[in-house]
Structures are given as structure tokens and as C-alpha cells.
Amino acid sequence: MDRIVNARYLGLVPYGDALELQQRLVRERAEGAIPDIIILLQHPPVLTIGRFRGERDIIASPETLAREGIVIFRTNRGGSVTYHRPGQLVGYPILNLKDLNLGVRDYIRKLEEVIISLLREFNIASGRHPDYPGVWVGGEKICSIGIHVSRGITMHGFALNVDTDLRHFNYIKPCGMTGKRMTSLAKVLSRPVAVEEVAKPLLACFSVVFSVTCMLERDVPRLSRLVVSRPIYLIIV
């Protein structure tokens, strides 16, 4: 495992800032200015909508979302609507798939395998669903996956429910699913779980699954230099 992937944990970052950061890193990776990198972080409450669908899978009214302080962003990732909030570990790998000799489908399956391997470290049995990307514990979804690939470079990624308020998932049909429930590590383990407790073992699992070495960097990118994207508040009629 001599291929290095730089890793950075940024803590709590507004979604617009993180989106701008991803876009910049994707450009720099495509130009060969930076190596592969994976960004780990958390987001304040936000709904993100995929490029194909999403609005119709929002159940809550715009008034309810505004009252709860939940903003909405359109994105270019695959999938429908999903929800982020603190207590969720979100990962954005910026990788050159050509260098890794991976196709898009294989890449998604490897992301799933990273989470399955991580959960095994916590003695949690998990697996895939035949109809939906992501990782499941029993009949409940614990990790959502949605990506975008441009010029062979990935962006977006996964959102693992670590110890988060699952109540707001009732405001949407997560990933366009009807009648499915979400879960978290804390719920399954019946104990509090810190996001930071999960980040390092996740990088270890990522290293094994992708046959790379993830190096956790201490120098955090200066988000203050980024132009913050404006959230979109959708009015569903």
C-alpha cells in the first residue's frame, strides 16, 4: 500500500463552504496539482438534493424546515434527497479513479465495503440492499452514498449516522425510499458514540479496502478564503 491519500478532518463545516472546497479540490486534482484526498467533516442541519430528483421526496413544509433551521442545497451528485446534521460523519473522497483502475460501480461498492468493515470493528453486522446504494443494519439504513464523477475525479461521497438526531429523517423520504427507517451507531450500540471515535478507524478501513495509505494531515485548508454558496429554500406547491 504505497499510494498515499491525504486525509483531513475539518469538524463542523457549513454545507456551502464544503461544496466550494470540494469543487476547488476537484479542479486541482484534475490538473494534477494535488494528490488524492479525503475530507471528513460534519454539517449543520441541511437537506441536499441529487441531480435527478429530490423535491418530491421532501415531506415537511418549507415553514417547518425554516423553523427548524434546515436549509436546502441542490447538488450534482446522484440519488434523491438526504439529510445531514451534527453527529453524522460525512466523507468526501477526491480521487482519480483512472489512477486507481476503478469504474464508478466498483468505486461505490468499495465505499460500501469501507463502511461495512468499519461497522465490523464495532461488532455490528451490516450489508448492502439490492435496490439502494448505501449500508444497512437489518432493515434500517445507517449510511447513505451519493457521488459525482467528472473527468475521472470523484466528489461527494458518504454520510454515516454516528450519533445524530434521527427525527428529522421523518421530514423526507431518505434517498427516495418509502417505508424505510434510518439508524445510527449510537442507536445500534445503545451508547453515545463520538464522531471522532469513528474517524480514525474509518480511515484505516479505507486504506485496506482501496489498497492505499491514508495520512491524516493537521494543516486544515483555510475555508475563510472560499466563497460561500447560497442555500436554496424550496417552495413545494
Specify the 3-state DSSP secondary structure of 49. strand
Cell numbers at 219, concatenated: 494543516
Closest by CA position to 184, among listed 153, 50, 174, 217? 174
Q: Which CATH class is domain 4-225?
A: alpha beta
Strands (E), 95-230: 135-137, 140-150, 153-161, 181-182, 213-216
Q: Does residue 232 surpass a pLDDT of 60?
A: no
Place of cell 443494519: 137
Q: Using one digit for the tens of pLDDT, what is the confidence trace for 80-110?
A: 788 899 999 999 999 999 999 999 999 999 9
Catalytic positions are 175
163-212, pLDDT tens digit by residue? Answer: 999 988 888 776 556 667 899 999 999 999 999 999 999 999 999 999 99
Instruction: Output the pTM of the full model.
Output: 0.87
